[in-house]
Amino acid sequence: MINSKTISRTVKDLCIEANLKLRPDVVKALKSSLRKETSSKGRNLLSILLENCSIAKNERIPLCQDTGMTVVFADVGQDARIQGDLTSAINKGVAAGYKQGFLRKSIVADPLIRKNTETNTPAMIYYDIVPGKKLKLTVLPKGFGSENKSKLYMLNPTAGYDAVVNSILKAVKEAGPDACPPYVVGVGIGGDAAKACYLAKKALTKPVNFLSDKPHFRKMAKELLAKGNKLNIGPLGAGGNTTLLGVNILSMPTHIAGLPVAVNISCHSLRSAHKSL
Partner 1 sequence: MKTIQLPIDEKTIKTLKAGEMALLSGKLITGRDQAHLRFTEALNKHKKLPVAIKGQTIYYVGPTPAKSGEVIGSCGPTTSRRMDAFSPLLIKNGLKTMIGKGGRSKEVIKAIKKHKGVYFITIGGAGAYLAKRVKSARIIAYPELGPEAVSELEIRDFPVITAIDSRGKSIF
Among 55, 109, 129, 130, binds partner 1 (CB under 8 A): 55
Contact 69, 107 (CB under 8 A): yes
Distance, CA of 26 to CA of 184 (rounded, Å): 9
Q: Could you tell me whether strands 151-155 and 244-254 are parallel, antiparallel, or unpaired per DSSP bridges? A: unpaired
Q: Look at residues 271, 140, 259, 151 and name the one whose alpha carbon lies nearest to residue 200.
A: 151
Among 27, 33, 37, 62, binds partner 1 (CB under 8 A): 62
Closest CB 9 distance from partner 1, rounded Å? 21
Site string for partner 1, 64-83 (x = CB under 8 A): xxxx----------------
Site string for partner 1, 219-248 (x = CB under 8 A): -----------------xxxx---------
- Cα 91 off chain centre by: 19
Beta bridge partners of 70: 141
Distance, CA of 81 to CA of 131 (rounded, Å): 13
Our finding on whether 204 is near partner 1 (CB under 8 A) is no
Tell which positions 157-176 bind partner 1, by CB under 8 A.
Answer: 176
Residues making up the chain, counted from first to last: 277
Distance, CA of 56 to CA of 215 (rounded, Å): 38
Site string for partner 1, 7-46 (x = CB under 8 A): ----------------------------------x--xx-
Site string for partner 1, 83-112 (x = CB under 8 A): -------------------xxxxx------
Residues near 53 by beta carbon (within 8 Å), at least 6 away in sequence: 22, 27, 30, 63
Among 6, 119, 152, 178, binds partner 1 (CB under 8 A): 178
Query: In this complex, which beta carbon is closest to partner 1, that of residue 117 or of residue 254?
Result: 117
Query: In this complex, which beta carbon is closest to partner 1, that of residue 25 or of residue 178?
Result: 178
Residues near 120 by beta carbon (within 8 Å), at least 6 away in sequence: 67, 69, 70, 94, 95, 98, 103, 104, 105, 106, 107
Binding site for partner 1 (CB under 8 A): 41, 44-45, 48-49, 51-52, 55-56, 59-67, 102-106, 116, 118, 145, 148, 176-180, 236-239, 267-269
